[in-house]
Amino acid sequence: MSGDEVAYEPVSVKAILAEMKDTAELLIDLSYSAVLLGSDEVAAEVLELEAQMDVLQLRARMSLLMAARSTEDAEALAPVLGMVGAAEKISDAAGDIAKVVLEDIGLPDAMRAALPEAVETLVRATISPDSPFAGETMATLNLETETGVRAIAVRRQGDWLLNPDAETALRAGDVVLFRGPEEGILDVYRDATGGETYEPPEPPESELTDLERAVDSIVLMKDMGELAVDLAYGAVLFDSQDVAEEVVELEAEVDALQSRFEAWTLQAAGRVEDPVSLRGLVHLARSTEVISDAALEISEGVLRGLSTHPVVAEAVQESDEIIVRVAVESGSAFDGTTIGAEQVKTETGMRVIAIRRAAGSERATREGSDWVVSPSAATTLGSGDVLIAKGTRSGAERFTALAKAG
């Protein structure tokens, strides 16, 4: 953490919470991408953002302490403090993941072989003077609709712009982090750099069965941890006990995977030439498990029957990536199709993170549950389904329109 002094300032708690949410989610993206790319530069940016999060959480705690003047205030603000602490834990865990790269702790080839499938493609591109992107705003480029790719951050002369919006104009020399499907990334990277070709890292092969199982456990832990964070914010936003219970289930599954990981790693250690080379894997697993624990803390207030404080719901809605809940109407574009067939991600930039089936529906009976968590492209949609999705505000508007009839 930076040694700069932090003093109380009368700032909006809502704005701080929204920035903490955005920063925490960006940290998760960047830390795993640093591992995948083996990039010291991306890992170093993670530590810079972690220091920024330290300052944000101190300011949030000061503001919340100033706001508590009665026992009723304390009860209402306790879950908000929990969210502040959870975002800080996610930040610390991301920093620990970045240090696996920066300190050359090392990871087995099997880890980098598995991560490309678990991490949505993220690339760093420097906007060249002859790029068609130079001087254009994000609204004019309309990348999300055209390619499914989103600019998640811009570094300009050493400063980070974490929330590029429709009015943000890209300049020659900007370093932009783009995230999205690989086929879209190829085109965006070429245009951004003025003709350079993006070449994804070649996944190495591994023949160690126990090690592969350990790696598979971490990849699954990562996916479940990220989903748990998304659902936790959704539970808070919609004050939903059902969604919060899904977070509990995911956290328990991550704990179980952690136990399996430990067993397979110990078995693999006896078969590798240098067992110390597995240290990075252990660090990664521990940090990934912390992220799922933090998700549980975010939803703790909902689980215990404490109503969501209005400032929290507003902060989640005003953050960079918002969460929406929409019901599929009969005759809408989503009625009777699949997520993949409707190309939800490409067309809207939104990611469906959970579906609640209509009670007693044929789909719920067939699947044995009212909830589908982390649905795939083949997941069917139908009238009465309630979709929880995450993405940008403009994408949310298009997504909501597709769920409406007419």
Q: Are residues 247 and 308 in the same domain?
A: yes
Task: Give yes or no for residue 195 having a pLDDT over 80.
Answer: yes
Q: Are residues 288 and 245 in the same domain?
A: yes
User: Looking at the domain assignment, is residue 6 inside a domain?
Assistant: no
Closest CA to 293 of 90, 56, 29: 90
Which among 193, 216, 240 is the end of a domain? 193
In terms of residue numbers, what domain contains 57?
13-116+204-313
Q: Are residues 212 and 355 in the same domain?
A: no
User: Looking at the domain assignment, is residue 25 inside a domain?
Assistant: yes
Q: Are residues 219 and 176 in the same domain?
A: no
Q: Which residues contact 24 (CB under 8 A, 6 or more apart)?
A: 53, 87, 90, 91, 94, 229
Task: Give yes or no for residue 2 having a pLDDT over 50.
Answer: no
Q: Are residues 225 and 357 in the same domain?
A: no
Whole-angstrom distance, CA of residue 54 vs CA of residue 158: 19
Could you count the other beta carbons within 10 Å of the beta carbon of residue 68?
15
User: Looking at the domain assignment, is residue 360 inside a domain?
Assistant: yes
Which among 147, 164, 193 is the end of a domain? 193
Which among 313, 344, 361 is the end of a domain? 313
Amino acid 131: pLDDT: 94
Whole-angstrom distance, CA of residue 106 vs CA of residue 145: 38
Q: Do residues 308 and 302 make contact, with C-beta atoms less than 8 angstroms apart? A: yes
Q: Are residues 356 and 340 in the same domain?
A: yes
Highest mean pLDDT among 174-183, 189-198, 224-233, 309-318: 189-198
Q: Do residues 139 and 114 make contact, with C-beta atoms less than 8 angstroms apart? A: no
Amino acid 92: pLDDT: 93
Tokens, residue 356 = 């609640």
User: Looking at the domain assignment, is residue 371 inside a domain?
Assistant: yes
The count of domains in the chain is 3
Amino acid 113: pLDDT: 57
Amino acid 171: pLDDT: 93
Of the two residues 189 and 67, the one the predictor is more confident about is: 189
Of the two residues 350 and 192, the one the predictor is more confident about is: 192
Q: Are residues 338 and 361 in the same domain?
A: yes
Of the two residues 1 and 46, the one the predictor is more confident about is: 46
User: Looking at the domain assignment, is residue 352 inside a domain?
Assistant: yes
User: Mean per-residue pLDDT for 286-294?
Assistant: 91
* DSSP-assigned states of every residue in 93-129: HHHHHHHHHHTT----HHHHHHHHHHS--EEEEEPPT
User: Looking at the domain assignment, is residue 391 inside a domain?
Assistant: yes
User: Looking at the domain assignment, is residue 2 inside a domain?
Assistant: no
Whole-angstrom distance, CA of residue 93 vs CA of residue 260: 20
Whole-angstrom distance, CA of residue 382 vs CA of residue 322: 23
Whole-angstrom distance, CA of residue 64 vs CA of residue 67: 5
pLDDT digits (tens, 9 = 90+) for 45-94: 889 889 889 888 888 888 888 877 788 777 777 888 888 889 899 999 99
User: Looking at the domain assignment, is residue 8 inside a domain?
Assistant: no
CATH number at residue 332: 3.30.70.1450
236-245, 261-270, 361-370: the lowest-pLDDT one: 361-370
Q: How far apart are the first and last CA of the chain?
A: 53
**Nearest-5° Cα angle at 311, 354 to 386:** 20
- Percent of the chain whose pLDDT exceeds 70: 86
Whole-angstrom distance, CA of residue 146 vs CA of residue 395: 12
Task: Give yes or no for residue 174 having a pLDDT over 80.
Answer: yes
